[in-house]
């Protein structure tokens, strides 16, 4: 449980709360209420991103026997739930939450942070995480990688 708490504080909490808060602070953010459609879309995207991220983290814990953090990564390859359709549903969920924050808070700067976060994760996954997954899970991961796309879900199974 201690590892989970540390993983949540250091990863999603920083990405979704601390960094956006710093962005708002340093851009002299002045909240202007968004129009009702923008607010509604933001809340729907927030709900979807929260469900996707939460579901993914639960699977990491229950099936993978690990956390989303690299220092306590899953011991078993997780290919169930949203992982059947896309290799990085947790990060997609976090990006959706960031986009929802941008919509609800009515600021483009958090949108920019979402784009930067996506680019950084894409680089990290391509050059580091996928190599580690291949080393850890071998042919099982290579088969999974061949069948399941990295970012855009593939639903026709």
Tell me the per-residue pLDDT of 96-151, one tens digit each, with 9 for 90 and over.
999 999 999 999 999 999 999 999 999 999 999 999 999 999 999 999 999 999 99
Q: What is the pTM of this model?
A: 0.90
Sorted by sequence, the CB contacts under 8 Å of residue 109 that are 6+ apart come out as 23, 24, 27, 29, 102
Contact between 106 and 31 under an 8 Å Cβ cutoff? The reply is yes
The pLDDT tens digits for 4-19 are 667 766 788 899 999 9
- Classify residue 80 by its DSSP letter: S
The pLDDT tens digits for 55-107 are 998 898 889 888 777 777 889 999 999 999 999 999 999 999 999 999 999 99
CATH of domain 2-147: 1.20.120.1630
H and E: helices and strands count for the chain? 7, 0
């Amino acid at each position: 449980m201690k590892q989970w708490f540390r993983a949540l504080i250091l990863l999603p909490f920083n990405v979704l709360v601390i960094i956006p808060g710093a962005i708002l602070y340093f851009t002299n953010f002045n909240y202007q209420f968004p129009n009702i459609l923008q607010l509604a879309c933001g809340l729907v995207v927030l709900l979807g991103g929260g469900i996707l991220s939460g579901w993914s983290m639960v699977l990491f814990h229950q099936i993978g026997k690990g956390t989303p953090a690299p220092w306590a990564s899953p011991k078993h390859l997780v290919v169930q739930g949203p992982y059947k359709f896309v290799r990085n549903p947790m990060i997609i969920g976090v990006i959706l939450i960031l986009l929802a924050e941008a919509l609800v808070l009515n600021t483009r700067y958090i949108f920019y942070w979402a784009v930067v976060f996506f680019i950084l994760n894409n680089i990290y996954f391509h050059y580091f995480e996928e190599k580690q997954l291949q080393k850890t899970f071998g042919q099982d991961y290579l088969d999974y990688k061949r069948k399941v796309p990295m970012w855009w879900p593939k639903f026709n199974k």
